[in-house]
Chains A and B, each alone.
Chain A
């Protein structure tokens, strides 16, 4: 398949999926039991005038097909209505929460990928050995562990008992720091949430890399490489690892889309002011416009991450060109 056709198909696919998901988002708040206008208001007292006003703002008084059109118009222009709890446009509320999440997720993912892959390479290479048995079973335990529980244990150990790190937040409340001191404080605050976020993925990437390595090592070309007189290390790093990277990189990219789930938990436990904490808070306040926006952003992140994975795969694996 030639390059252009491959890319066009992947991009069309992604656009189609985004349309589907956005339509689902539209339907979600209308098929739910109960009056959507009431749902979109804070719980408690809901005066009829406010409900009517809400109905107007979200065009709930119009026929379904018209609502659908207007929803698309609003969505494409980035209008998600007003947040109840903050009394500000949703776009504004969401925008200021994006960077903390990107920081947390970025650091966590890089850590998880590097550590997980290296552990996996050696486990797969010395398969069946003591190192392998230990790391593999450890990987499975890490994978089976609920992220938030691990986070609580981290707080208990490193924040409460040893007092090495703060229990949460991005900065000390009421303290203004600048320059290097600010960076240092940020890192101290970042460490535990990022580590917690990363730990589940470390297990996953370790296991994937390990099985990928063992799979590739059984390929004939690994034997060819050995027959050529290459040392064990050269066989591993020059022939086995480049091939074994392919599936792992794809999965890392695809997982990147699902970071929202991990971010919600890590941010909620550590009070990290990102999108995850925002969606947790708005869930508790039943702030639907915000939840709707976060949900849409999270879905699009997944689709875009998938698209990037496909494109990366194209460049990493020459066989896709064929």
Chain B
């Protein structure tokens, strides 16, 4: 039987994910005033789930691939593998239809009326797959539940982590619910807002209690609140996607550099070092100026300028894992490199990669804001950086139109802070050394002032503004229940030392 808690997860997350996907592509042109039925109809509009076909092809390949792999390897959960293949088939059909059907398959998007039906089927099948996986692997499901619960218990005890999570949930909800909060039509260049009597408010009108004018108006008399709410979508999306891409590149190269010692590792390391010294902003300016201004470019620019930090951190962690005894044992009994990497090294490095990802999101959001501020952003879509750009070039600081400058800036600070807090809290949960005092506290004379243990200096030395780091914090607030051993297999004994470890790390790499 599958664990009760796991069952609850599936029952909760499947509809939740469905809802999020619905909201993600909810039509922007349904005015709030149109009434309940129109708003509800929006949930079944053709725009829902109208992803570009290449995304669907990728989804089909990944799910079907994993399913077939599971069948070939005769994994325990046969039904799970079959469901995955089923998802792949639905994706393939979806891609085929979205690409224009048999008459002309194209890479462009072709809006079909029943996108949302296909999306619902995929989500439901996904839920079923999760269910079947747990049926096939009850012990692993049990372990996953237990581990997650432990992590959450430790995480919950960290006030900074919880504050970060709260801020993030707030802004994510704002971004997802944007269509229901304020009309997208207000971003139209001609959509100046009016006061209660229908009078135009005009440029740079200070905030009033009228909803559209909560944050005042900009230089042409548009609602700053509307820009603010819709900007959160772009800022968060670009940040998340860029961080994801950067982490995939960085982690891949870091693992390769750490795992293959000798000249191969050395080559990867040299490459990383070369990218690490490239000043990111001048490069990004050159690229953005040459490649044109849209968010896809910005994501790529941020990704290729911020991966080396991740690569360094991951590499040093892989080096640590490689020396662990069980890896040597696996090598001794003749396991292949690929097997060791997949089964032993990756699970050990994965938590670090995730913690790092969260921190890179913070950097990516800052980077996006910076590029947009310099006028390199997408002129057609608002992000908080774009808002600040317009505020700057139109002299909001000289007026001073504080209502135009403050909201986007504060939002950026809060979101960046939230991701930093979350990353730090998660890092602390992972690293028993960060939170655990010695059991008796007695022999612990290393803590000269009885203070909570050291600080993880693992972080992404991202190209921009120097380095990202994970500053320490009041571990006292997060004192876990130390009667229990620290969370199962999630432990990560040593952070990838970036700060201070930098030179020693270099030595190590060089002598190999």
Contacts and interface: CB of A to CB of B under 8 A. Distances in A.
State if A and B touch, Cβ cutoff 8 Å: yes
Interface of A: 9, 13, 16-17, 20-21, 24, 28, 32-34, 39, 127-128, 132-133, 136, 139-141, 143-149, 152-153, 155-157, 159-161, 167, 200-201, 204, 207-208, 210-212, 214-215, 217-220, 222-223, 226, 246-247, 250-251, 254-255, 257-258, 260-262, 264-265, 268-269, 279-280, 283-284, 286, 288, 291-292, 294-295, 298-299, 301-303, 306, 310, 313, 320
Contact of A214 (B369, B397, B455): B455
Contacts, number: 228
B414 to A, nearest CB: 8
B476 interface: yes
16 contacts: A33-B291, A145-B412, A147-B465, A148-B370, A148-B388, A153-B397, A218-B446, A223-B445, A251-B467, A261-B280, A284-B375, A286-B289, A291-B282, A291-B289, A292-B286, A298-B282
A320 B503 contact: yes
Given A152-B391, A152-B405, 8 more contacts: A144-B417, A156-B398, A211-B454, A214-B455, A247-B500, A251-B499, A258-B279, A268-B374
Given A140-B471, A156-B397, A258 B448 contact: no
B392 A152 contact: yes
A254 B502 CA distance: 11
B210 to A, nearest CB: 24
A217 B373 contact: no
Interface stretch (B132-140, B243-251, B270-278, B480-488): B270-278
Contacts of B420: 140, 143-144
B455 A291 contact: no
A280 B269 CA distance: 32
B30 to A, nearest CB: 33
B285 interface: yes
Contacts of B392: 148, 152, 269
B399 A160 contact: yes
A141 B281 contact: no
B328 interface: no
Contact of B463 (A136, A251, A258): A258
A215 B495 CA distance: 14
Contacts of B500: 212, 246-247, 250
Nearest to B280: A261
A223 B445 CA distance: 8
A219 B366 contact: no
B277 A264 contact: no
Given A39-B290, A204-B466, A257-B279, A17 B472 contact: no
B264 interface: no
B454 A215 contact: yes
Contact of A211 (B285, B369, B455): B455
B466 A258 contact: yes
B465 to A, nearest CB: 6
B282 A145 contact: no
Contacts of B282: 260-261, 264, 279, 291, 294-295, 298
Closest 5 CB pairs of A and B: A247-B500, A211-B455, A207-B471, A255-B466, A261-B281
Contact of A17 (B274, B449, B467): B274
A136 B328 CA distance: 42
B334 interface: no
Given A208-B499, A211-B471, A260 B279 contact: yes
Contacts of A264: 281-282, 285, 374
Contacts of B375: 284
A299 B413 contact: no
Contacts of A140: 417, 420-421, 471
A192 to B, nearest CB: 11
Candidate in A28, A128, A301, A302 with the most chain B CB atoms within 10 angstroms: A128
